[in-house]
Structure 1
């Protein structure tokens, strides 16, 4: 008996997760979309933070570079071919890393965006915007832009600590002229997404 699309999707996700784990990466999202006689397989990949053994909750995490995305694309393509997951129908494989337009829905999403200017929505309404300076397992710290120094800590701007359960939505704000990577990242936000495309057929 043939498997359902849902079962097939779950199996592909599991196969790709196993293939990327040794490379220190994870599958953030997976979609398979019909496109005429072909299918488009879109895989969103990111660093597996559990594999990085991070020493703290505040260090900046560099995004995946193009060479790494290329290596991950090959691993994904080889896995799809080896498992015959896509069958006989040709497909186009698109692999990319998260961009700034990706919503912040998990603690790891906040952790990988340390140093960014983010806006979060609160359950009671209203928004809070600030520089993300720490992201832990249960909560995170925002430093409001232009925040006043903390009492007794000259030069240290005040921070707001929020639990993940205290926000309904988070997003990264696009900044065209960001500062140094360590304080925070020194690259244009519009260039954060890297992707590769590859065609496959059995």
Structure 2
């Protein structure tokens, strides 16, 4: 997909997404056999419900049908929220991951390698983390600047307490 088409789709669809207090995370056009696949990923601080995706899909479909943004030919539209394993790339992603365990790939200046830690707080410059202790040792705190992060991805925790459970 050309940058021009991507920009045009983003410009066309962003108002529909932001009207619903959602963030337009990604637009991807790919081939699926003879048809094209248009994947739109949206998110919010509270997450995205299935009904919200369905309603947004209907509105986006109407908008695309009323324009020539997708050109001629068939396409499949998919509107979804990001998966649990999506990379953290924006400041808002880190804010939404507060309390979650994250695997960081560190820059050489930060010692390189991987670090798994829980995000405690996020500010404009970086993160305050809790690094789990190994073999019965206590957890330790660590400060990590955004410039020290090469990649970051939330780790799936099957026994993690939900924020709602912790507040109760």
1:120 aligns with 2:107: no
CA apart distance, 1:79: 2.0
TM-score (norm 2): 0.84
Q: After superposition, where does 1:75-86 map in structure 2 within 5 Å? A: 75-86=59-70
Q: After superposition, where does 1:1-202 map in structure 2 within 5 Å? A: 5-47=2-44, 61-124=45-108, 125-146=112-133, 148=138, 158-182=140-164
Post-superposition Cα deviations, 1:71-113, rounded to whole Å, max 9, x if no partner, equal 2222222221222212331111011111121111221111111
Q: Separation in 2 of the partners of 1:37 and 1:25? A: 31
Residue of structure 2 equivalent to 1:54: none
Post-superposition Cα deviations, 1:26-53, rounded to whole Å, max 9, x if no partner, equal 2211111123331110111112xxxxxx
Distance 1:26 1:62, change over 3 A: closer
Greater than 3 Å deviation, 4+ residue runs: 182-185
Name the structure with the higher helix share: 2
Residues 130 and 143 in structure 1, CA contact (< 8 A), matched pair in contact too: yes
Structure 1: state its 5+ residue gaps: 48-60, 149-156, 186-202
CA apart distance, 1:158: 4.4
Residues 27 and 41 in structure 2, CA contact (< 8 A), matched pair in contact too: yes
Matched residue count: 161
CA apart distance, 1:182: 4.3
CA apart distance, 1:170: 0.6
More relative contact order, 1 or 2 (CA 8 Å, 6+ apart): 1
Distance 1:131 1:86, change over 3 A: same
Structure 2: state its 5+ residue gaps: none
